[in-house]
Chain A
Amino acid sequence: AQSVAQPEDQVNVAEGNPLTVKCTYSVSGNPYLFWYVQYPNRGLQFLLKYITGDNLVKGSYGFEAEFNKSQTSFHLKKPSALVSDSALYFCAVRDMAGGGADGLTFGKGTHLIIQP
């Protein structure tokens, strides 16, 4: 069975500083990995995904994520945080070994708070 862990319930960062939101995963095959962001009372918005190829993936709003197969991690990063980045972030995984168009497995989410 596939699983995702986001070890931090909340991450606090000062505006202008770099930010990292951590994610580790467990799958039996090779993973497809995704990051989503959710603003209050809204649905999830897609940020970026890793399918194959370059381990550094660039996405929306200046975010990027690095796939590390040996550490089974897919941490979300941004060089300089903005107050508007404050939101709930979800990491998700789909196992390529799985059959059928089944759903994603999500982590429990990390609240990112950017302080002015």
Chain B
Amino acid sequence: DVKVTQSSRYLVKRTGEKVFLECVQDMDHENMFWYRQDPGLGLRLIYFSYDVKMKEKGDIPEGYSVSREKKERFSLILESASTNQTSMYLCASTGGSYQETQYFGPGTRLLVL
């Protein structure tokens, strides 16, 4: 079974702090994604990566950056957390074919005070 893990289930941070969210997948997938989920808005794509050290902006990249130094690991970075970044963050991965399913991690619920 595909396994996507996220470093924390719940996080509480203060405004202005630098926040790291880590995601690891064990299926040797080329592509990895970060989404945020908000009530009534569904999931929105923040960034994705199709290879090590490669990244592409999604629909809402402002205020975020990412890092992919190893194939299995994709990090989301909030350089200076703000209260409007309070959300559920979901990581996903998939293989190289467009037909393949995206598999999701359990999510990190981030609260910025």
Interface residues of A (CB under 8 A from B): 9, 32, 34, 36, 41-46, 49, 51, 90, 92, 94, 96, 100-109
Q: Are A108 and B40 in contact (CB under 8 A)?
A: yes
Q: Are A107 and B99 in contact (CB under 8 A)?
A: no
Given contacts A41-B109, A43-B106, A44-B90, contact A101 B50 (CB under 8 A): yes
Q: In the complex, which of the residues B48, B101, B105, B109 contacts A102, with contact meaning CB atoms closer than 8 Å?
A: B48
Given contacts A101-B94, A107-B42, A108-B42, contact A51 B99 (CB under 8 A): yes
Q: In the complex, which of the residues A43, A102, A108 contacts B104, with contact meaning CB atoms closer than 8 Å?
A: A43
Q: Are B45 and A101 in contact (CB under 8 A)?
A: no
Q: Is B41 an interface residue (CB 8 A)?
A: yes
In Å, the complex CA distance between A94 and B41 comes to 18
Cβ of A41: which chain B residues have Cβ within 8 Å of it?
Answer: 9, 107, 109
Q: In the complex, which of the residues A45, A96, A101, A103 contacts B58, with contact meaning CB atoms closer than 8 Å?
A: A103
Cβ of A109: which chain B residues have Cβ within 8 Å of it?
Answer: 42
5 sampled A-B residue pairs with Cβ under 8 A: A41-B107, A44-B92, A101-B94, A103-B33, A108-B40
Cβ of B82: which chain A residues have Cβ within 8 Å of it?
Answer: none
The residue among A46, A49, A100, A103 with the most chain B CB atoms within 10 A of its own CB is A103
Q: Is B64 an interface residue (CB 8 A)?
A: no
Bitwise, B38-54 to A at CB < 8 A (1) or not (0) is 00111111001010000
**A27 → B minimal CB distance (Å):** 12
Q: Are B40 and A32 in contact (CB under 8 A)?
A: no
Give A49's nearest chain B residue, CB to CB. Answer: B101
Q: In the complex, which of the residues B40, B50, B102, B107 contacts A104, with contact meaning CB atoms closer than 8 Å?
A: B102
